[in-house]
């Protein structure tokens, strides 16, 4: 029987404890999770593509069932390349669902063999976003309760420049 593999795409700028919660919950359902760090994004990212990729590799270095990969272009093309049929998306709020629903239907239109699964982050880490974390860090606030420990070091290095 083939391994159940899902792909969790995103910019992860930076990865938050909400993202980590979604990963942990997904590993209950899937045997392997590929975290696909997106290069092509409409967002003006704080961390570079390479920094985001390396940060995620560091955060999940102790989890053998998580593989961090880079991707650019259409997600459905990446899905075909890695041989997965399941896109994993995390939900924080109802407003997230509207956008995610639109993306899921668009991906299904591009390749109807691919399904999107939504997993909610645990409630204690579901209320904040990567953009909120960036804002707090840039203003010198404490983000230690919002991100995995390695991310704090990434911010310290970046903000010293």
Q: For 95-111, what is each residue's pLDDT tens digit?
A: 788 889 999 999 999 99
> φ, ψ for residue 118 (rounded to 5)?
-105, 135
Active site residue 48: no
- What number of H helices and E strands is found in the chain? 6, 5
Tens of pLDDT along 129-154? 999 999 999 999 999 999 999 999 99
Instruction: From the candidates 43, 81, 138, 153, give the one annotated as an active-site residue.
Output: 43
| Angle, in degrees to the nearest 10, between helices 149-160 and 49-59 | 150
Architecture of domain 5-160: 3-Layer(aba) Sandwich (3.40)
User: Using CB atoms within 10 A of its CB, is residue 89 exposed (0-12), middle (13-18) or buried (19+)?
Assistant: buried
Give the pTM: 0.93
Instruction: From the candidates 19, 21, 89, 126, give the one annotated as an active-site residue.
Output: 19
Query: Which regions of the chain are under pLDDT 70?
Result: 1-2, 161
How far is residue 101's CA from residue 35's CA, in Å, rounded to a whole number?
Answer: 20
The H or E element spanning position 38 is strand 32-38
Active site residue 92: yes
- pLDDT in the model for residue 95: 77
How far is residue 36's CA from residue 86's CA, in Å, rounded to a whole number?
Answer: 12
Instruction: From the candidates 21, 84, 92, 126, give the one annotated as an active-site residue.
Output: 92
Contacts of 112 (CB under 8 A, 6+ apart): none
């Amino acid at each position: 029987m083939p391994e159940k593999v899902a792909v969790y795409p995103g910019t992860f700028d930076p990865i938050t404890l909400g993202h980590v919660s979604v990963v942990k919950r997904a590993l209950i359902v899937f045997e392997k999770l590929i975290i696909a760090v997106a290069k092509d994004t409409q967002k003006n990212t704080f961390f570079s593509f390479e920094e985001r990729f390396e940060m995620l590799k560091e955060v999940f270095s102790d989890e053998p069932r998580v593989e961090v990969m880079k991707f650019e272009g259409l997600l459905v093309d990446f899905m075909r390349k890695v041989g997965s049929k399941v896109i994993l998306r995390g939900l924080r709020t109802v407003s997230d669902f509207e956008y995610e629903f639109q993306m899921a239907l668009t991906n299904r239109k591009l390749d109807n063999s691919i399904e999107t699964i939504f997993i909610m982050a645990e409630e204690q880490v579901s209320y904040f976003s990567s953009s909120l974390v960036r804002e707090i860090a840039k203003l010198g606030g404490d983000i230690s309760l919002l991100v995995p420990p390695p991310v704090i070091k990434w911010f310290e290095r970046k903000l010293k420049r």
